[in-house]
Amino acid sequence: MKEPTEEQIINLGDNEKEPTSNNLTSTNEPVGPTPEELETLPRIADKIPYTIFMVVIAEAAERFTFRSITGPLQNYVQNPLHDDRLPGALGKGQATATAIGYFFQCWCFLMPIVGAVIADCYLGRVKTILLGSITATIGTLILFLTSLPVSLENGAGWPGLLVALIIIGLGAGGIKSNVGPLVADQYTGKKPVVKITADNRRVILDPDVTVQTIYSRYYWLINIGSCAGLIAPWVERKVGFWATFLIPLCIYGCATVVLIFCRNKYIIRPPQGSIAIRAAHALWIGFKKNRTMDHAKPSYLRQQGERIDLPWDDQFVDEIKVALMACRVISLFPIFWLCYGNTVGNLISLAGLMNTMGLPNDFLAGSINPLSILILLPLFERVIYPSLRRINIPFRPISRITFGFVIMSGAIAVAAGLQSLAYNSPPYSVNFLSILPIYVLTALSEITAFLSSMEYAYTKAPRSMKSLVASVNLLLCALGSLLGLAISPTSKKPQILVQFACLSGIMFLAAILVYVLFSKYNKVDEKMNQIEREADSDREG
């Protein structure tokens, strides 16, 4: 499809109603700002609905389980059962362990496509999340049972691991593509409005800032679940893998119970039937007619004298155009996730070559990253972003994604340097705390790049396709994992050093490409977001 020009994007929302007043109405309800106020008044987030906390518990449990598995997984697969120095179970070696880690990550981020279609077309988000939670609980139960010492001694560990990972990934697919959109659905604001605060300041309650804040708090909350990395390495080392996997089994069970009891408290948007089929049909017509989506509009087809009864209107085509643009923007994220996968697998093996000071070699991998997010995210939300807005630097999504890509490039460059240092130093002489900055940088790149991609996918997607577009964002993670799986044979000495160095350079080039190709969309970001909100208002009206 031809990429829409900046002027075309600006004109997509010409039917929106302009705000007309800068005063409160006679009922003291806030109203829309004037163009002058849009330029001068500070923008803040609206009130955040409390129901987001009850939604997030499902993905917090999924994150807890994911971290409880991926952290110990490298040792579980790589090292033999009775290793004197490091915990282990299956003894398959580093390359196989890294490949299994990439496979699990790929599977968990591929299945959201299935979960999105089920939610958008059939069950709705709440029921799909609940089904996913039950499925993942069953998979975690299998993993726990086959990691018991008696199971490992009788050869059940390897097949049990594979079956469990597949079932857990299926469950994750129902959760991951739907929790984020369901969280954002709890906020129903459509337009910026002027409000007078308690200290008598005039401010704008901005839906874009509100959605950004919602996703920030959502990501902060699920990273509490990611702090499983603080527990899992110790349990793995002191008790055994079976105990490590028992904890997420209990967490998933509790989350499922909470979801069942709270299912009627959420703002629920019903499934829209064959919306994906209609979108595919519109895309096919646009592709056939000079690869231009405007030619799929009913108004254009009527002008051409075609008598076709189409199940969509012109606005639906405009929404698809913006959604396609969002997909282009996030299209380079497989490289980001390829680099991220290295911080989960190969850095754990690198730590095994260092002096761990008696700590588990996978301790930093499972703890520093989520802890850094828990510390840095409130700093960005409450200090950095508001400060930038006050000096008229809004730091739009494209700029944040570019910044995050650069940070990830730097993190992998540091990994290359440490890998070289470990190879050229006496065995176990390099302190493994030197890896800590890599996980802090990775957390910073997640906060700016990945979180912005989630926000972008939600705000640019039609309401009835939000889970599907969100799952496309997650699908890119699966593609990154497939790339990691393809290069996993190089995850050994000395090729791993070259792998780190090349990935750092490629990630930096990706950052340049994102900014060069897509920075123009920063100028029309608010206009594009308003298209979907106006469409919602029209349908509800």
pTM: 0.73
Q: How far apart are CA 15 and CA 315, in angstroms?
A: 10
Q: Which two tokens stand for residue 150?
A: 């008696």
Residue 540 has pLDDT above 60, yes or no: no
| Residue 388 host element (H or E) | helix 385-390
Q: Which two tokens stand for residue 98?
A: 């890294």
Mean pLDDT of 250-269: 82
- What pLDDT, on a 0 to 100 scale, did the predictor assign at position 536? 56
* Contact of 337 with 476, CB cutoff 8 Å: yes
For 99-125, write each residue's pLDDT tens digit.
Answer: 898 888 888 888 888 888 888 778 888
For 7-47, write each residue's pLDDT tens digit.
Answer: 454 454 444 444 333 444 444 555 778 888 877 888 888 88
DSSP string, 60-111: HHHHHHHHHHHHHHHHHHHSBTT-SSS--BB---HHHHHHHHHHHHHHHHHT
CATH assignment, 331-520: 1.20.1250.20
Question: Of the given ranges (15-19, 179-183, 266-270, 409-413), which has the lowest mean pLDDT?
Answer: 15-19
**Cα–Cα distance list, 520 to 195, 209, 354 (Å):** 31, 20, 46
Give the residue among 224, 128, 507, 202 at the shortest CA–CA distance from 343: 507
For 41-96, write each residue's pLDDT tens digit.
Answer: 888 888 887 777 777 887 788 888 887 887 788 889 998 888 777 888 998 988 88
* Contact of 510 with 405, CB cutoff 8 Å: yes
Q: How far apart are CA 180 and CA 533, in angstroms?
A: 17
* Contact of 60 with 255, CB cutoff 8 Å: yes
Residue range(s) in the chain whose domain bears CATH number 1.20.1250.20: 42-273, 331-520
Q: Is the dihedral of CA 411, 412, 414, 418 positive or negative?
A: positive
Domain 42-273 has CATH 1.10.260.40: no
Answer with the residue of higher pLDDT: 235 or 11.
235
Burial 271-284 (b: 16+ CB within 10 A, else e): beeebbebbeebbe
Answer with the residue of higher pLDDT: 120 or 298.
298
